Amino acid sequence: MTDATVEIVVDRLGAGGDGIAEHDRQRLFVPNALPGERLLVRLGPARGEGRSATVVRRLSDAETRIEAACRHFGRCGGCVLQHLLRPAYADWKRTLIVEALARRGIADAPVTETLVVPPGNRRRAVFSAVGRQGGAVLGFAEAQSHAIVDIAECPVIAPPLFRLTAPLRATFSTMLGPGQRGQAIATMTMSGIDLVLEIDRSLDLAARERLAAFAGETDLARLSWRRPGGSAETLAARRTVHVGFDGVPAVFPPGAFVQASLAGEAALIAEVLAGVGAAKTILDLYAGIGTFSLPMARKAKVTAMEGDPEAVKALAASSRGAITVERRDLARDAPDEKLLSGFDAVVFDPPRSGARTVAENLARSSVATAVAVSCNPQTFARDARTLIDGGFRLERIRPIDQFLWSSHVELVALFRRETP
Ligand SMILES: C[S@@+](CC[C@H](N)C(=O)[O-])C[C@H]1O[C@@H](n2cnc3c(N)ncnc32)[C@H](O)[C@@H]1O
């Protein structure tokens, strides 16, 4: 009974951006639907705690509905909420955090308004490509699918990244056989675009020459290639590649992690600096290539820990001995409470899985200030619960939306010990 149609009214937005409605004691997840809208929907397969449904006809529009900004909206998996008016959209992102905390018993959390980064600001994009007869398709994956939307526009990414898509598509067309897949990780740096091609094939001399010519024609700062899971080999190093964190220059290894937008990064750095305040000794965990370590080191003695060897090497080079940089697997070998207690403040910015052990050890430590940066409200809320149970007070959370129109949100949270 997957093609039955029913009339529903959407209650609210879910964490993935779908409209949620109750029907026949079942929860329905409806893409491109807003709270208050009356819809005729076709019931689809089971999904999570309910089932999916697709809109057959919208019988009424929400007052908050607006025209989507992109022709690919609805198909492209990158965006889920282009059709919602900005204040309601910003509030939804904030609510994602408030609700995740509430589920952990943290009520009335001091969550400020969301800072929303404007369109055209993404400085880093991961394009997917697949070979076809007659040329490659290049863009982003469709929602819940491996199919790729061949993008003709993208209002999210910065214009220089979009300008790269046509030559990149042409290049992939020469490299990918039908059905063969590849990726391109493009980052705007202070030196120009750093591009890493991920293709599971060897490169003969002709391919290398073609790629070096492509790097020149598109004025890339650097072009590298790697097999999936392999390390990058630089094919064209046309300029030394640098980024800057709050004005402090940093070495940028091929395809390294940086925050998704410059505006988001600036806001994150400002929040972290305000959070650590006048701390004289700071431990920066999951430090990457130094987004927070390098600006913090202007005023404090910083120790940075990070798992990725290339990032560790880059941060050590950027800091020129001013920062103690340690390679460490923080999931398996988190600093214990004794080590943590030697610092005035600890900053941690883990991957989506969060920082469970770091939070547990912080809870047992005597650290006065902890600043959490997170891109996942669920794991953040788990770790916040641990810190609060360990005697920290949650002073402030700043939501920063640098993943425009997606269901992701970034945040910075400040915790202080009740009685240091
Ligand atoms: C969200 S990024 C943050 C990086 C940096 N703070 C920034 O803002 O650019 C998370 C970082 O954690 C590192 N990482 C992931 N898992 C790790 C682990 N088990 N141990 C240490 N570092 C890890 C990644 O290499 C990455 O640099």
- Which SS3 state, helix, strand or coil, does residue 166 take? helix
Pocket test for ligand 1, best of 257, 315, 371, 376 (most atoms within 8 A of CB): 257
CA of 175 to the centre of ligand 1 (A): 32
State the pTM of this model: 0.95
d(CA 189, CA 145): 31
| pLDDT < 70 regions, the chain | 1-3, 419-420
Specify the residue with its C-alpha closest to ligand 1, atom 6.
287
The CATH number of domain 124-243 is 3.90.340.10: no
Q: Which pLDDT score, from 0 to 100, does residue 274 have?
A: 98
Specify the residue with its C-alpha closest to ligand 1, atom 25.
308
Pocket test for ligand 1, best of 124, 189, 296, 306 (most atoms within 8 A of CB): 306
CA of 6 to the centre of ligand 1 (A): 46
Ligand 1 proximity of 266 Cβ (cutoff 6 Å): no
Ligand 1 proximity of 308 Cβ (cutoff 6 Å): yes
Query: Which residues are CB-neighbours of 387 under 8 A, at least 6 positions away?
Result: 359, 362, 363, 370, 372, 394, 415
Q: Which pLDDT score, from 0 to 100, does residue 48 have?
A: 85
For residue 107, the 8-state DSSP code is -
Q: Which pLDDT score, from 0 to 100, does residue 338 have?
A: 98
Amino acid (1-letter code) at residue 343: F
88-118+258-417: CATH homologous superfamily?
A: Vaccinia Virus protein VP39 (3.40.50.150)
Please name which of 181, 178, 124, 179 lies closest in space to residue 156, comparing C-alpha atoms.
124
Q: Which residues of 202-220 are buried (b: 16+ CB within 10 A; e: fewer)?
A: ebeeebeebbeebbeebeb
- CATH architecture of structural domain 5-65: Beta Barrel (2.40)
CA of 69 to the centre of ligand 1 (A): 32
Ligand 1 proximity of 380 Cβ (cutoff 6 Å): no
The reply to whether 124-243 shares the fold of 5-65 is yes
**229 in Cβ contact with 255 (< 8 Å):** no
Amino acid (1-letter code) at residue 33: A
For residue 257, the 8-state DSSP code is -
| Catalytic-residue membership of 375 | yes
DSSP for 33-94 reads --TT-EEEEEEEEEETTEEEEEEEEESS--TTB---S-TTBTTBTT-S-TTB-HHHHHHHHH
Ligand 1 proximity of 291 Cβ (cutoff 6 Å): yes
CA of 352 to the centre of ligand 1 (A): 10
Ligand 1 proximity of 15 Cβ (cutoff 6 Å): no
Specify the residue with its C-alpha closest to ligand 1, atom 17.
307
Q: Which pLDDT score, from 0 to 100, does residue 3 have?
A: 67
Q: Where do the domains of the chain lie?
A: 5-65, 88-118+258-417, 124-243
Q: Which pLDDT score, from 0 to 100, does residue 419 have?
A: 65
d(CA 323, CA 314): 12
Ligand 1 proximity of 361 Cβ (cutoff 6 Å): no
CA of 351 to the centre of ligand 1 (A): 6
**331 in Cβ contact with 354 (< 8 Å):** no
Ligand 1 proximity of 7 Cβ (cutoff 6 Å): no
CA of 1 to the centre of ligand 1 (A): 45
